[in-house]
C-alpha cells in the first residue's frame, strides 16, 4: 500500500496535510496543549458560540439524565431505543423553528447524508451552492440524482440553471443560511422566490445560524420570515446550542416519511440521553437568555473593527465567523503555529475544505472570549503577518 505514503507526502509538501493536536479544556474557552500543560491558550476555533457547553444548567440537565437513563439507549429508535425525551426535544425544535414537527439525528453529517437521498433519486436533480458543506455534497452523491452546482450566492446563475436543467422529476435546491467558511449569508428571499417559481423543494442548512439569529434564536430563516417557505430546515445542536446531534424541521408528513426512508436515522443508535437532555435545556436557555445573542454579535463586530483598524483590508461578513484569507496553505499553517506561541488557537483551513488558493484562518467569536482577548488576537495576527510579509485580507474587498 505504497500509495498511502505517497499521498501523505504530497499533502505534506503542499501544506494541506492534516494532523490531530491533543488538547485539554482547562476552563471555558481555554485550551491546554497535551505537551505543554502549563500554557493555556484562547480558543478561536470552537463553534460553541454562545458558551452554552459549560452553562451550569446544561451540565445539571445532562447529569440528571445520565443518572436516570444511563450512558446510552442501546438501540436504534425504531427498535427499543426510543425515549420520550427524544420526542420532547423534537417538539422543542419544532417550536423553535416554527414548524409542525422535527426529527433528530446523530450529527449534522448524518442528517444531510440521510435526508437528501431520501428525497431525491436517479430521475431527479439537485441544485447546490458551490460552497455548501461536504456533508451536503456527500448526501447529493449518495442520492444518485443529477447534481447541478451554481455559483456561490448567485441567484441569477441559480435561475439560469433551474430554467435549463429543472427537468420533469423532483428538484431540490440546497443552501446554507450562513456559510461556515466565509461567514456570509444566503440571499434567502430570492432563493425562496425561485424555488416557488420552478416548483422545487428547498432545504436550508442552519447549522451556524440556529441560536444566534432570529427573534427567538430560530435562525436566519426566522429572522427573514421564510420559515413556512423552507421545506426542510436542518440544524445542529453541537454549535451555538453547546451539545451534540442534529435535527430536521418541517411538516409532520416529512417527519413520518424520514422515519421510514432516511437510512442514517433508521440504522443508527439513538443519541445518548445526557446529550439529548442538554440539547433540550439549550433551547430553553436561548429563549430565557436572549442577551447572549446580542453580546455575541456585538463582540463579533468589535473583533472585526479591531482587525480593520489594525490594517486588514476588505469588508468582513455579517456574522460571528471571521475568515482571514491567506491564500497559500503553507503560509496559513505557519501563521497559525506562530499564533499558538502567542496564546491564540486558530485553525488553518485548507483545501479540500475550501477551494484551491483560498487557504485561510477561520476565527470563531464566542462568548468565552473577552474584548481584551479579541483585541490582542487582532493585533498579534497583523504583527505576525507583517513580519512574514504575508498579505492577508477579509474574503471580500
User: What ranges make up the beta strands (E) of 321-388?
Assistant: 321-327, 344-345, 347-349, 359-364
57 closest CA partner among 241, 263, 221:
241
Q: State in Å, rounded, how far the first CA of the chain is from the last one.
A: 46
* Gyration radius from the chain CA atoms: 21
In order, the DSSP letters of 312-331 are --SB--SSSEEEEEEESHHH
**What is the C-alpha separation between 145 and 70, in angstroms, rounded?**
41
Q: Are 324 and 378 in contact (CB under 8 A)?
A: no
* Distant-in-sequence, close-in-space partners of 21: CB < 8 Å, separation ≥ 6: 33
**What is the C-alpha separation between 255 and 374, in angstroms, rounded?**
42
Q: Are 150 and 128 in contact (CB under 8 A)?
A: yes
* Four-residue CA torsion sign, 98, 364, 375, 386: negative
**What is the C-alpha separation between 162 and 150, in angstroms, rounded?**
10
258 closest CA partner among 84, 391, 77:
77
For residue 85 the three cell numbers come to 425525551
**What is the C-alpha separation between 234 and 172, in angstroms, rounded?**
14
Phi-psi region of 101 (alpha: psi -120 to 50; beta: other; left: phi over 0): beta
* Distant-in-sequence, close-in-space partners of 103: CB < 8 Å, separation ≥ 6: 90, 247, 248, 255, 258, 259, 262, 265
For residue 158 the three cell numbers come to 441559480
Q: Which residues are catalytic?
A: 47, 133, 176, 180, 205, 208, 239
Amino acid at each position: 500500500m505504497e500509495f498511502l505514503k505517497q499521498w501523505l507526502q504530497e499533502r505534506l509538501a503542499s501544506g494541506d496535510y492534516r494532523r490531530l493536536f491533543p488538547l485539554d479544556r482547562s476552563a471555558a474557552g481555554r485550551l491546554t496543549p497535551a505537551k505543554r500543560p502549563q500554557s493555556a491558550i484562547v480558543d478561536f476555533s470552537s463553534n460553541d458560540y454562545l458558551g452554552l457547553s459549560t452553562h451550569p444548567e446544561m451540565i445539571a440537565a445532562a447529569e440528571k439524565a445520565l443518572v436516570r437513563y444511563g450512558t446510552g439507549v442501546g438501540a436504534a429508535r425504531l427498535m427499543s431505543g426510543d425515549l420520550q425525551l427524544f420526542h420532547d426535544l423534537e417538539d422543542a425544535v419544532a417550536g423553535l423553528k416554527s414548524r409542525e414537527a422535527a426529527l433528530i439525528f446523530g450529527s449534522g453529517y448524518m442528517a444531510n447524508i440521510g435526508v437528501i437521498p431520501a428525497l431525491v433519486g436517479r430521475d431527479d436533480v439537485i441544485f447546490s451552492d458551490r460552497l455548501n458543506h461536504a456533508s451536503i455534497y456527500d448526501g447529493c452523491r449518495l442520492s444518485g440524482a443529477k447534481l447541478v452546482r451554481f455559483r456561490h450566492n448567485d441567484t441569477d446563475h441559480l435561475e439560469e440553471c433551474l430554467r435549463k436543467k429543472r427537468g420533469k422529476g423532483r428538484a431540490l435546491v440546497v443552501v446554507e443560511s450562513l456559510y461556515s467558511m466565509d461567514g456570509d449569508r444566503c440571499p434567502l428571499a430570492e432563493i425562496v422566490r425561485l424555488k416557488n417559481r420552478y416548483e422545487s423543494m428547498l432545504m436550508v442548512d442552519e447549522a451556524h445560524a440556529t441560536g444566534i439569529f432570529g427573534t427567538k434564536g430560530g435562525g436566519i430563516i426566522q429572522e427573514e420570515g421564510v420559515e413556512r417557505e423552507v421545506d426542510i430546515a436542518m440544524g445542529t445542536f453541537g454549535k451555538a446550542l453547546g451539545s451534540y446531534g442534529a435535527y430536521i424541521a418541517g411538516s409532520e408528513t416529512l417527519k413520518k416519511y424520514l422515519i421510514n426512508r432516511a437510512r442514517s436515522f433508521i440504522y443508527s443508535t439513538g443519541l445518548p440521553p445526557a446529550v439529548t437532555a442538554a440539547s433540550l435545556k439549550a433551547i430553553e436557555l436561548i429563549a430565557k437568555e436572549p442577551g447572549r445573542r446580542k453580546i455575541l454579535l456585538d463582540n463579533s463586530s468589535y473583533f472585526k473593527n479591531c482587525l480593520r483598524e489594525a490594517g486588514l483590508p476588505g469588508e468582513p461578513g455579517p456574522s460571528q465567523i471571521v475568515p482571514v484569507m491567506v491564500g497559500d496553505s503553507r503560509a496559513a499553517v505557519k501563521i497559525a503555529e506562530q499564533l499558538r506561541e502567542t496564546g491564540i488557537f486558530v485553525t488553518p483551513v485548507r483545501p479540500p475544505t475550501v477551494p484551491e488558493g483560498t487557504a485561510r484562518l477561520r476565527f470563531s467569536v464566542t462568548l468565552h472570549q473577552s474584548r481584551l482577548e479579541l483585541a490582542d488576537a487582532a493585533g498579534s495576527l497583523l504583527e505576525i503577518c507583517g513580519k512574514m510579509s504575508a498579505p492577508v485580507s477579509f474574503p471580500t474587498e
